[in-house]
Structure 1
Amino acid sequence: MDGTPVLGITVDCHDAQVVAAFWCHALGYVEAPPPSGWSDWASFLTDQGVPEEEWGYGATIRPASGDGPSINFLKVPEGKSVKNRVHLDLKVSGGRDVDQTLRETRIFAAEADLVARGARRQREDRVDGRLDHFVMEDPEGNEFCLV
């Protein structure tokens, strides 16, 4: 292997464009630019010999700053069949040291925003009677947590 590996995350899905748009909003990410040397994705995909009908089969997003891991979305034929073993935590509450009322307000606000964009709450987890986090699903059922 040459150099240090770079972390990339890939999510299998049926509609890469829809799921990528959801996660752009949820994370404040943007669509990734085409690889260096190409002015746009159409030129890159054409040069790679990807048939035009397959251009929407993938999408890549990244932090607006360019710093941090990219997330790739890849169209696959099979549906999701089991619980994710790895998931993303969206840390929206400010942490467990934040006033509980404020934590809950932030978690509920993030939930409402993401549900309006196709997410679904799977369950609410409490510790000692206090809201700890929501287990959520993106528009295609991939689990994540609002903490």
Structure 2
Amino acid sequence: MAATFDLTLDCADAKLLAEFWKTALGYVDEPPPAPFTTREEWLAQFDLPDDDSADDGVWICDPDGVGPRLSILKVPEPKTAKNRLHMDVRVPGGGGPGERWGRIRAESERLVKAGGSVLEEFGEHHIVMADPEGNEFCVAAFSG
């Protein structure tokens, strides 16, 4: 059996980044683990430093349970270099190269409106973007 995995993004503003990635991926806030009814209640069980807040982390998930959970956690240090791992946001649908490129462009425009920025376009293959805190990701079409 294959292992499951979550992805974690370090950030300065967890709520801001969570809103962007919920928009980008169609994710929703993940409910707290049972038997807790709120994240604050869940976090209270840990011996967290006094300056930690429930707003320092946001957990989002695929509502269909297919994609990995995304943990977005506030850290004190800023982003200083290119990501060693990045996400690819894949737009669905078939068609010829022109149709796929149109969907890729439309998705990148939607994500710019949500707070992302375009870094570079690679032909009619994919677009490299950054989320509101500069984390790189690509927008491309499904391969198949």
2:36 aligns with one of 29, 35, 38: 38
> Which of structure 1's runs of 4+ aligned residues deviate more than 4 A?
49-53
User: Unaligned regions of 5+ residues in structure 1, if any?
Assistant: none
| Percent of paired sites with the same residue | 40
Distance 2:103 2:84 in 1: 26
Distance 2:78 2:115 in 1: 17
Q: How does 1:9-88 map to 2 (within 5 A)?
A: 9-50=7-48, 54-88=53-87
Question: 1:13: Cα distance to partner?
Answer: 0.5
TM-score, with length taken from structure 1: 0.86
Q: Cα deviation per residue 1:54-109 (whole Å; 9 max; x = unaligned)? A: 110011111002333101011111111111121111111546xx312211210111
SS at match of 1:47: coil
CA RMSD of aligned residues (A): 1.9
Of stretches 32-41 and 86-95 in structure 1, the one that deviates more from structure 2 is: 86-95
Letter in 2 for 1:8: D
TM-score, with length taken from structure 2: 0.87
Distance 1:89 1:119 in 2: 14
SS at match of 1:18: helix
Question: 1:21: Cα distance to partner?
Answer: 1.1
1:121 aligns with one of 113, 118, 121: 118
Give the aligned length.
139
Question: 1:23: Cα distance to partner?
Answer: 0.5
